[in-house]
Structure 1
Amino acid sequence: MKYSVLGPTGVRVSRICVGTATFGVAPGPQESDGVVGAALDLGINFFDTADVYGSTSTFDRPGAPPAAERESAEEILGRSLAGRRDEVVLATKSGERRFDPDAGLSRRYIIQQVEQSLRRLRTDRIDLYYAHFPDPNTPLEQTLAVYDDLIRQGKLRYVALSNHTAWQMTEALWIADDRRLVSAPVAAQVMYSLLDRSAEKELTAACVRFGLSIIPYAPLHGGLLADLSILDRPIAGGKRYGGPGYSDTEIAVARRLDQLARDWGLGMQQVSLAWLLSRPAVASVIVGAETADELRANAAAADVELTKEQLDVVSALTAGTTS
């Protein structure tokens, strides 16, 4: 496994980060232990979760227990890491407002959620804590101030922003500097893949300029950039979260990428992830895996180095799609 330094922290994180959004559904609670164990065996030391993962109705699917009967992804991950917590960099989030009208990035809510996450994860500190989404009702100054307090208390190590714009990231850095806070964001988590390059419009430049890391989620675009057999599944892509399936344009790009990967003797997911890991400021990519074998296949991408010519060919598949 290869590693990168997370922003300005000096902390080394594996180039592959295990995402846990569907822990408790696919993989189920027992299978999750196998996925976490396989990750540790592969040298993966970076795990990503959130206070709402696993146990909300968004992740419901046929054959899985209803949300009210499921453990949260944090609880499952905390149990799976028992005895090995100190070997990993643990990231979680709060501030997703779709499921709770009181949620957001206020002082009251953040303190409440940090305490609950610490309990569910069976730990005394969180290595990287994200503001999951912007909160239009709470000034960013208040959010960064409570993060500053929690870092000084030893409950958080570093903080970051998720699903925020480049100007919001820049504003957060300015506030932290102006108020001499220790809670300046060190990374940006954002949806980013060959089929969604909107981060390249402004966020990439901001992160490069300020020395921050980009941590992409959905790097395989819901599985389409990993294996075309995903098209045969009744639940694929955005359908997993109640949205639409794939567009004809997305499928056409995936088919071309699949042929390139075959020509190069690689798996499509390896090419997809290797391309993304080559992009400026990208430190690690978050991959979800339903099985240990699926994780191993994705993790192999960390060892793949495409030539400049190959990278250019892949980039050309979706050139001009950053807006």
Structure 2
Amino acid sequence: MQQRPLGRSGLAVSRLALGTMTWGRDTDPDDAAAQLKSFLDAGGSLVDTADVYADGEAEAVIGSLLGTLVPREEVLIATKAGLRPGFGRRRDGSRGHLLRSLDASLRRLGTDHVDLWQVHGYDPDTPLEETLTALDHAVVSGRVRYVGVSNFSAWQTAQAATWQAAFPGRAPIVATQVEYSLLERGIEREVLPGCTALGLGVLPWSPLGRGVLTGKYRHGRPADSRAASPHFGPFVAPYLEPRCSSIVEAVATAASGLGVSPLEVALAWIRDRPGVVAPILGARTVGQLLGALQVEEMTLPAEITQALDDVSAIPVGYPEREG
């Protein structure tokens, strides 16, 4: 698998990342082990998780596989902190919460450091400079190699990145993790141009439109699908409306013409977008992952890329649009 630099950093990562949101809940440990081994065998390196995935069980599953199934040095671990499960204060970017969360993540992962640590969401109740000092401390202490943000708006991303770049010795923001797919192109208005200007790599989550771009929902909701599950149903539902269906049909038409799956078409499109470093594959089973990994040998013809750009285009007006 090809490797790409993560933003303006010396860290090279595989151009596809392995997501683990379902590990420890919908994906059992045996299937998680098969996914990790298959991913590494295909040349993948970047594994993404978070402290809140399955209430920490996703990290624990990864930790159980490091050093037993796969060597720690072959895996680049990205995790996140800053969200609280349940009700009440959902986002917490305070220094205390972030550093406690990092220590807990390291215990579950069974490692002394993570390769990329990301703030999971912007906390309006904590001064941003306090949040960023936690990132600095984590890097200086050796517990974190690189830092990033996730689900930040354009101005929040720019504020964090420029604050860190203002003085020598601060840990630079090298990446942002945001939702991006043919069904959700909102970051193209401001976030993506800002990341390009500031040298941040983009890690798209849900690059397959929460699974909808695989085409599995074209004729209903399979009983074993995320849309039919109680905890993922509301997550998928927004992408089952008519506009999204027309995009899915365009993807399916392109796939039929190329003799590949809709998944491969949608994934190749997002993988090769300007600014994108590594889409995060959130496969539930090893079979789904193996299907997605087939995209490594594929490049979309320019005319198909343009057709998909046109059918999924988002409205862009003042002040983003020039002229």
Q: TM (normalized to structure 2)?
A: 0.90
Give, in angstroms, the shift of residue 241 of structure 1.
Answer: 2.9
Give, in angstroms, the shift of residue 180 of structure 1.
Answer: 3.1
1:88 paired with 2:75, answer yes
Aligned position for 1:67: none
Give, in angstroms, the shift of residue 314 of structure 1.
Answer: 1.4
Write the deviation string for residues 95-150 of structure 1: whole angstroms up to 9, x where unpaired: 11353646511111011001000000110001000100111111110111121111
| Pairs aligned (count) | 308
Unaligned runs of 5+ in 1: 56-70
Distance 1:97 1:136 in 2: 14
Letter paired with 2:144 = L
Aligned position for 2:96: 108
Corresponding residue SS for 2:300: coil
Corresponding residue SS for 1:186: strand
Q: Is the 8 A contact 2:52 2:84 kept in 1?
A: no
Distance 1:229 1:165, change over 3 A: closer
Aligned position for 2:306: 312
Distance 2:315 2:105 in 1: 37
Give, in angstroms, the shift of residue 76 of structure 1.
Answer: 0.4
Letter paired with 1:131 = V
Give, in angstroms, the shift of residue 238 of structure 1.
Answer: 9.2
Corresponding residue SS for 1:158: strand
Distance 2:282 2:38 in 1: 13
Corresponding residue SS for 2:213: coil
Query: Which of 197, 202, 213 lines up with 2:201 in the alignment?
Result: 213
Aligned position for 2:177: 189
Aligned position for 1:232: 221
Aligned position for 1:143: 131
Distance 1:321 1:148, change over 3 A: same
Distance 1:291 1:184, change over 3 A: same
1:74 paired with 2:59, answer yes
Distance 2:266 2:247 in 1: 12
Distance 2:134 2:153 in 1: 21
Give, in angstroms, the shift of residue 43 of structure 1.
Answer: 1.1
Write the deviation string for residues 296-320 of structure 1: whole angstroms up to 9, x where unpaired: 1111223211122121011112113
Write the deviation string for residues 39-74 of structure 1: whole angstroms up to 9, x where unpaired: 11111101000000023xxxxxxxxxxxxxxx6100
Aligned position for 2:269: 275
Give, in angstroms, the shift of residue 153 of structure 1.
Answer: 0.8
Distance 1:291 1:111, change over 3 A: same
C-alpha RMSD over aligned residues: 1.9
Give, in angstroms, the shift of residue 152 of structure 1.
Answer: 0.7
Query: Which of 184, 191, 195 lines up with 1:203 in the alignment?
Result: 191
Corresponding residue SS for 2:107: helix
Provide the identity percentage.
Answer: 33
Unaligned runs of 5+ in 2: 318-323
Give, in angstroms, the shift of residue 81 of structure 1.
Answer: 2.5
Aligned position for 1:258: 252
Give, in angstroms, the shift of residue 30 of structure 1.
Answer: 2.1
Write the deviation string for residues 179-217 of structure 1: whole angstroms up to 9, x where unpaired: 434322101100100000001010110111112110000
1:284 paired with 2:278, answer yes
Aligned position for 1:23: 23
Q: TM (normalized to structure 1)?
A: 0.90
More deviation in 82-91 or 130-139? Answer: 82-91
Distance 2:293 2:251 in 1: 19
Corresponding residue SS for 1:221: coil
Q: Is the 8 A contact 2:221 2:228 kept in 1?
A: no
Give, in angstroms, the shift of residue 269 of structure 1.
Answer: 0.9
